[in-house]
C-alpha cells in the first residue's frame, strides 16, 4: 500500500485465518498494525519498543486515524508490558518465565480459538502452585490495568489532536454543533447564546460499588499517565527521557508491591473522599478552561461571552447521602461528608484567591472598589482580622510568618482579595471545629461566626465588584483572565463543591408516616388507599399545626428516617441537592417526603424527585405526576420546576434491556407531555450505570438517543463507579466529557431529532412485549434459573472484593428481586456472558423478521438514533462476550443436571447475535470502519483476560469444595512453604495460608476481569 512507501524497515508477518491477514511493520519510531494484532511474549522480542513522540499529520496521513491509534496503542502497550516484565522478573525470577509462557499460549488461543490451544493454556494454569496462582493472577491483572492506562493515554492524545484540529473529530464538539445548527438547521446565533446562557447539565457522582481498582493504585497509574504524557509531548534530552522512563518504572514497581485487594470495606466517608479527588485533580480547574472555549465559540458567531452567573455544569453527589439499602449511611455520615466537601471547596478557593491576590497588583480601580478597599483597610487598622474582638466560639487561626496581608489602599484589589482569603480561612476553622463537635448544628455554627461565609453569595458579589472595576477602567483583558475563572469556580462550586442528594426507599418513608398516624390514633397510613393518603397529606401540608410528636417512641428504622430529616435541618441548604425516592410508585410517595421535611424543621425544602424503576412503575409514572400537578398547593410549591428520575438498572433487571429501554423512552415522552400541560419545566434525571446492562453508553449518544423535546436545556445524570475515572481521570478526557455533554444537550434543545414514525413505534412496542416475556420466562419462570445463576457465576463471592460500603441486597431474601442491579450485572460480566443485556432480544428480532419486517428494522437502525445506539451497544457487548469461556464455568461449576439450561441459553445467544448482525447489515462483529479501533483494543486485551477467567474458575471450584466440608490440604496437596511464599499467602483474613491464597486469587481475578471488560456492574 502507498502508506508503506519509503519506509526504512518493513517486516511482514502473515497468519492466515478464515477472516483476515495479519500485517505489521515498523520504522525507526513507530509500530503500525493492520488487521487483528499479532503479539509476542516479552522473551521473544528482539528490541525494545520505541516511545511515540506524538500524533503528527504525516503519520496520520500515512496510515489513517484508526490504524494510527492502534499503532500508538500497541507501542505504549509494548513499552509498559516490558517495563512490568522487568520488574516482575526482578522480584519473581522463577515465576516470570511461566507468565511469559502463559501469555504466549493465551495469545495463540486468542488468534486460533482452537480447543487444543485452550487445553494447553488450561494445563499450564492448573499446574501452578497456590502461591504461583496468586502471583500469576496479580501479574495479569496489573498488565490489564497498565493496558487500560495505554488506552486512556492514546484516547487523551487523540482528544487533544482532535481539539487542535490535527485529525477530524468522530463526534461533534460544541463548536462543531454550533456551526452545524447555524448552517444546516437555520438556528440564529442569538438563540445559541440564550440557550447556552441558561443550559445546565448536573453530573451526579454516586457511590455505586463498581470501581474495582483501589485508590492507592489509581494514584500511581495517574502518575504513570502523566509521565507517559511527558514522554509523548515534551521535547526531551536523552537524559531526561531516561529519567522519565525510570519514574515510570518506579511507579509500576510501587503498584506491583501494593496490595491490590481492599482488606476492609470502605466507609461512606471513604467513598466521598475518593470522589472528591476528581475535583482536585481535573474538574475544578478544568471547568473554567472549558468555559473559555465556549466563550471563544460564541465569539466566532458574533455573540458575547457567557454571563457571569451562567452554570453550564454543576455537580452533585450521592456519596454519604444514598441510604437506600445501606445501613452504614447514617445521619452522622451525611453531616461528615457535607463538612468534608465544604472543606475541599474552601481549600480550593483559598488557593485560587491567593494566586489571584498576588496577580492583581494594579492600582487603578473604580471608585466603588476603592471605597470598599478603604473600608477594609480602616477596619484592619483598628483590629487584627485574625484575632478580632468580636465574640467567637472558635480559636482564631495563627497566621504564618510567610503569609501576606495587604492593607495599602494603593493596591485595592489585593486588599479586597486578602480579606476574602482571610474570611475563607475563618470559614475553614468553623468547619474543622464542627467536625470535632458533632452535636452542634453546622448551619448555626456558620451563622454565629460573623467572619465566616455562610453561603457563597457575598463572596461572589465581591469578586464581581472586582470584575466590574477592571472593565470600567479599561482593563477587560485582566478581568476576563484569572479573575473570570475564579468567579466561575465560585459560581459553580460555591462553598459546597458538589450538592449532596439524599436517597431513601419509598417504603421507609411510608413506615415512618404509618408510625406517626398510628401513634396519634388516626389509623394506619399503610392501610389507606391512595386517595385517602393524598387528602390527609395535603391537609397536613396546608396546616400550621405540627403533626410529629416530640417524644414519640420509634423503632430503629423509623428513628433513622426521622433523624435524617432532622439532620438536614442543621446543614447549609447550599450543600443539599434533591431528595430522591427510590422505588417510587405513587404521588403520595412524594408528598410524604415533603411533609416529613416540614415536620422536622427543614427550612429550605429539598426538591423531591421520585425515582421510577420497575416496568410497572414506569408505566404508572405519568398518572402519579399528573395527580401531583393537579394539586394547586403542590404547583405553588415547585414554582414551575419538577425533577423526575428514571432508573435504567432495576428496570433492566426487571424486564430485560430492550423492554426497559423502550419503557424508559415512552415514559420520558409522557412525563414531559404531562408537565407541559401544567406549565412545568421537567428535568429528567437519568440513573445510568457504566455497563450497557445498566443503561451505559457514550455521553453524547446517551443524550442524542433520548426522545425529541424531552431535554430542553437541563439534564441530570449519574456518574457511577469506574465511569468517574473514565470520564474525569485525565484533563483532556475531562475536557472532552464536558464538551460532549454541552454539545449534545444544546443540539437536543435547539435541534431535536424527528419523532419516530408510527411504524417504528409499533415495531418497538411488539419487540418490547416479546423480549420482556422471553426474558421473564427464563429469569422468573424457570425454576432452575436461580440455582443455575448462583453456581455458574461468582455472584455469591462478589462481596469479598470490598469495593463498596453497601450490601449486595436490599433485603436478606434470596430472590433475584432483592438482589441489587450491580451484582446482577457484575456476575454475568465476570463470566463474559452478559445475559441481562441480550436475553429476549433475539426472539423479538426474529419474530419481526419472520413477519417480513427485516427491512423495517434495518431502516430503524440506519435512521433512528435510539434504535441504532441500542443495537451498537448490543454489538459491543457481544464482542466482549465469549461462549467458550462460559462453557468452562459450566463444566467446572454447574451441576450436570443444569447443563441443558446453559446449552439452551447459548443457543439463544447465538440466535440474538445472528439476528442483530442481519438487522445491522454487518458481516461480523465490529466489522465497520467506525469500530475498528475498538476491535483492536479488545484483541489486545484478550490474551490478558482468558488466563484470569480460567484461574477464577479453579478458585471458585476449590472455595466451594472447602465450603462444602472438604479440607483444603486434601484438595491442594503439597505446596511451597518457604518464607516468601508464606508471606504472600498470609495477607488475607484466614489463619490458613492456603485458604487466604485461594480467596486472594479469586478476588484478584475478579478485579482483573473487570479491568479487561472495563466494567464491573
Per DSSP, the three-state class of 503 is strand
CA distance 153 to 159: 10
Pairing status of strand 681-687 against strand 200-206: unpaired
Contact at 8 Å (CB) between 268 and 341?
no
Reported as type and span, the H/E element at residue 720 is: strand 714-720
Cell of 932: 475498528
Cα separation values, 391 from 148, 395, 510, Å: 56, 11, 45
Contact at 8 Å (CB) between 76 and 150?
yes
CA distance 318 to 645: 14
Contact at 8 Å (CB) between 909 and 838?
yes
Distance of CA 103 to the CA centre of its chain: 31
Contact at 8 Å (CB) between 338 and 500?
yes
Pairing status of strand 31-34 against strand 23-26: antiparallel
Reported as type and span, the H/E element at residue 642 is: strand 641-647
Q: Please count the CA atoms within 13 angstroms of the CA of 725 that sit on its side-chain side.
A: 25
CA distance 626 to 622: 6
Residue 45 gets the label, from left (phi > 0), alpha (psi -120 to 50) or beta, of beta
Rg (CA), the chain: 30
Per DSSP, the three-state class of 643 is strand
CA distance 117 to 818: 41
Contact at 8 Å (CB) between 617 and 585?
yes
Contact at 8 Å (CB) between 870 and 797?
no
Residue 464 backbone phi and psi in degrees, to 5: -70, -35
CA distance 397 to 407: 19
Measured in Å, how far apart are the chain's first and last C-alpha atoms?
Answer: 43
Contact at 8 Å (CB) between 934 and 151?
no
Q: How many C-beta neighbours within 10 Å does residue 81 have?
A: 22
Reported as type and span, the H/E element at residue 682 is: strand 681-687
Length of the chain in terms of residues written: 1017
Reported as type and span, the H/E element at residue 203 is: strand 200-206
Per DSSP, the three-state class of 471 is helix
Residue 684 backbone phi and psi in degrees, to 5: -90, 130
Cell of 570: 442543621
Which residues fall within 8 angstroms of residue 828, CB to CB, at 6 or more apart? 693, 793, 834, 835, 836
**Which sequence positions are flagged as catalytic?**
208, 653
Q: How many C-beta neighbours within 10 Å does residue 497 have?
A: 28
Reported as type and span, the H/E element at residue 582 is: strand 576-582
Cell of 389: 474582638
Cα separation values, 997 from 134, 137, 213, 265, 975, Å: 6, 11, 19, 19, 11
Contact at 8 Å (CB) between 117 and 105?
yes
CA distance 217 to 146: 11
Question: Smallest Cα–Cα separation from 121: which of 135, 112, 108, 136?
Answer: 108
Per DSSP, the three-state class of 577 is strand
Amino acid at each position: 500500500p502507498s502508506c508503506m512507501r519509503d519506509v526504512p524497515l518493513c517486516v511482514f508477518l502473515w497468519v492466515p485465518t478464515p477472516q483476515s491477514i495479519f500485517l505489521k511493520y515498523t520504522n525507526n519510531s513507530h509500530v503500525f498494525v493492520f488487521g487483528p494484532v499479532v503479539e509476542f511474549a516479552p522473551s521473544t522480542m528482539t528490541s525494545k519498543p520505541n516511545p511515540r513522540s506524538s500524533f503528527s499529520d504525516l503519520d496520520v496521513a500515512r496510515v489513517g486515524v484508526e490504524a494510527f491509534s492502534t499503532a500508538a496503542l500497541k507501542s505504549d502497550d509494548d513499552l509498559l508490558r516490558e517495563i512490568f516484565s522487568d520488574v516482575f522478573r526482578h522480584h519473581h525470577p522463577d515465576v516470570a518465565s511461566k507468565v511469559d509462557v502463559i501469555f504466549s499460549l493465551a495469545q495463540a488461543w486468542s488468534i486460533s480459538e482452537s480447543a487444543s490451544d485452550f487445553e494447553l493454556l488450561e494445563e499450564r494454569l492448573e499446574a501452578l502452585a497456590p502461591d504461583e496462582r496468586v502471583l500469576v493472577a496479580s501479574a495479569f491483572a496489573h498488565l490489564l490495568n497498565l493496558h487500560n492506562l495505554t488506552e486512556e493515554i492514546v484516547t487523551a492524545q487523540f482528544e487533544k489532536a482532535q481539539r487542535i484540529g490535527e485529525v477530524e473529530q468522530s463526534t461533534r464538539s460544541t463548536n462543531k454543533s454550533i456551526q452545524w445548527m447555524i448552517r444546516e438547521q437555520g438556528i440564529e446565533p442569538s438563540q445559541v447564546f440564550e440557550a447556552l446562557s441558561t443550559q445546565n447539565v448536573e453530573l451526579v457522582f454516586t457511590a455505586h460499588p463498581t470501581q474495582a481498582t483501589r485508590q492507592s493504585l489509581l494514584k500511581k497509574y495517574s502518575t504513570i499517565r502523566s509521565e507517559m504524557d511527558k514522554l509523548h509531548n515534551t521535547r526531551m534530552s536523552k537524559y531526561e527521557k531516561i529519567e522519565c522512563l525510570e519514574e515510570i518504572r518506579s511507579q509500576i514497581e510501587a503498584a506491583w508491591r501494593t496490595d491490590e485487594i481492599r482488606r476492609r470495606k470502605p466507609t461512606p466517608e471513604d467513598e466521598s473522599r475518593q470522589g472528591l479527588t476528581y475535583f482536585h485533580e481535573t474538574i475544578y480547574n478544568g471547568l473554567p478552561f472549558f468555559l473559555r472555549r465556549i466563550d471563544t465559540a460564541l465569539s466566532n458567531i458574533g455573540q458575547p461571552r457567557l454571563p457571569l452567573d451562567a452554570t453550564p455544569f454543576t455537580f452533585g453527589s450521592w456519596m454519604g447521602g444514598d441510604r437506600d439499602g445501606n445501613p452504614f449511611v447514617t445521619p452522622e455520615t451525611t453531616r461528615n461528608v457535607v463538612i468534608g466537601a465544604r472543606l475541599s471547596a474552601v481549600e480550593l478557593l483559598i488557593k485560587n484567591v491567593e494566586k489571584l491576590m498576588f496577580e492583581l497588583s494594579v492600582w487603578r480601580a473604580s471608585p466603588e472598589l476603592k471605597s470598599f478597599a478603604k473600608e477594609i483597610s480602616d477596619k484592619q487598622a483598628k483590629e487584627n482580622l485574625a484575632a478580632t474582638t468580636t465574640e467567637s466560639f472558635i480559636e482564631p487561626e495563627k497566621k504564618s510568618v510567610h503569609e501576606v496581608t495587604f492593607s495599602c489602599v494603593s493596591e485595592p484589589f489585593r486588599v479586597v482579595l486578602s480579606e476574602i482569603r482571610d474570611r475563607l480561612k475563618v470559614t475553614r476553622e468553623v468547619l474543622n471545629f464542627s467536625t470535632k463537635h458533632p452535636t452542634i448544628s453546622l448551619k448555626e455554627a456558620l451563622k454565629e461566626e460573623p467572619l465566616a461565609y455562610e453561603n457563597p453569595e457575598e463572596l461572589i458579589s465581591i469578586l464581581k465588584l472586582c470584575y466590574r472595576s477592571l472593565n470600567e477602567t479599561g482593563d477587560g483583558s485582566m478581568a476576563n483572565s484569572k479573575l473570570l475563572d475564579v468567579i466561575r469556580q465560585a459560581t459553580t462550586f460555591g462553598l459546597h463543591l458538589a450538592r449532596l442528594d439524599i436517597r431513601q426507599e419509598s417504603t421507609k418513608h411510608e413506615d415512618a408516616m404509618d408510625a406517626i398516624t398510628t401513634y396519634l390514633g388516626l389509623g394506619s397510613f399503610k392501610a389507606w388507599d391512595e386517595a385517602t393518603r393524598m387528602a390527609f397529606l395535603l391537609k397536613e401540608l396546608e396546616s400550621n399545626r405540627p403533626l410529629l410528636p416530640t417524644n414519640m417512641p420509634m423503632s430503629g428504622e423509623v428513628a433513622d428516617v426521622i433523624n435524617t430529616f432532622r439532620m438536614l435541618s442543621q446543614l447549609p441548604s447550599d450543600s443539599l441537592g434533591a431528595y430522591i425516592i427510590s422505588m417510587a410508585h405513587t404521588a403520595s410517595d412524594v408528598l410524604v417526603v415533603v411533609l416529613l421535611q416540614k415536620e422536622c424543621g427543614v427550612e429550605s425544602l429539598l426538591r423531591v424527585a421520585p425515582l421510577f424503576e420497575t416496568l410497572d412503575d414506569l408505566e404508572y409514572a405519568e398518572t402519579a405526576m399528573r395527580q401531583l400537578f393537579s394539586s394547586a398547593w403542590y404547583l405553588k410549591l415547585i414554582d414551575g420546576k419538577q425533577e423526575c428520575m428514571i432508573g435504567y438498572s432495576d428496570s433492566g433487571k426487571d424486564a430485560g434491556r430492550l423492554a426497559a429501554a423502550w419503557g424508559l423512552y415512552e415514559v420520558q415522552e409522557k412525563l414531559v407531555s404531562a408537565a407541559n400541560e401544567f406549565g412545568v419545566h421537567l428535568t429528567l434525571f437519568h440513573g445510568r450505570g457504566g455497563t450497557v446492562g445498566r443503561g451505559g453508553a457514550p455521553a453524547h449518544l446517551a443524550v442524542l438517543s433520548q426522545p425529541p423535546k424531552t431535554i430542553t436545556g437541563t439534564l441530570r445524570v449519574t456518574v457511577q463507579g469506574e465511569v468517574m475515572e473514565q470520564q474525569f481521570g485525565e484533563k483532556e478526557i475531562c475536557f472532552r466529557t464536558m464538551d460532549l455533554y454541552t454539545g449534545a444537550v444544546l443540539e437536543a434543545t435547539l435541534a431535536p431529532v424527528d419523532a419516530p414514525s408510527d411504524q417504528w413505534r409499533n415495531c418497538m412496542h411488539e419487540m418490547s412485549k416479546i423480549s420482556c416475556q422471553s426474558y421473564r420466562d427464563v429469569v422468573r419462570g424457570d425454576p432452575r434459573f436461580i440455582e443455575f445463576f448462583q453456581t455458574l457465576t461468582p455472584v455469591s463471592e462478589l462481596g469479598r472484593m470490598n469495593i463498596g460500603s453497601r450490601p449486595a441486597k436490599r433485603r436478606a431474601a434470596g430472590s433475584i428481586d432483592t438482589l441489587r442491579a450491580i451484582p446482577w450485572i457484575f456476575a454475568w460480566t465476570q463470566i463474559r456472558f452478559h445475559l441481562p443485556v441480550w436475553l429476549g432480544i433475539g426472539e423479538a428480532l426474529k419474530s419481526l423478521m419472520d413477519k417480513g419486517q427485516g427491512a423495517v428494522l434495518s431502516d430503524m437502525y440506519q435512521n433512528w438514533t435510539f434504535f441504532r445506539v441500542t443495537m451498537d451497544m448490543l454489538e459491543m457487548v457481544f464482542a466482549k462476550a465469549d461462549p467458550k469461556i462460559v462453557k468452562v464455568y459450566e463444566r467446572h461449576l454447574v451441576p450436570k443436571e443444569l447443563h441443558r439450561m446453559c446449552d439452551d441459553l447459548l443457543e439463544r445467544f447465538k440466535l440474538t447475535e445472528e439476528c442483530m448482525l442481519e438487522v445491522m447489515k454487518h458481516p461480523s462483529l465490529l466489522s465497520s470502519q467506525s469500530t475498528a479501533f475498538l476491535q483492536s483494543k479488545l484483541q489486545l486485551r484478550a490474551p490478558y483476560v482468558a488466563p484470569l477467567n480460567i484461574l477464577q474458575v479453579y478458585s471458585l471450584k476449590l472455595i466451594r469444595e472447602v465450603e462444602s466440608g472438604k479440607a483444603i490440604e486434601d484438595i491442594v496437596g503439597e505446596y511451597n512453604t518457604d518464607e516468601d511464599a508464606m508471606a504472600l499467602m498470609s495477607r488475607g483474613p484466614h489463619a490458613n495460608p492456603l485458604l487466604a491464597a485461594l480467596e486472594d486469587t479469586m478476588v484478584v481475578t475478579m478485579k482483573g476481569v473487570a479491568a479487561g471488560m472495563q466494567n464491573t456492574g
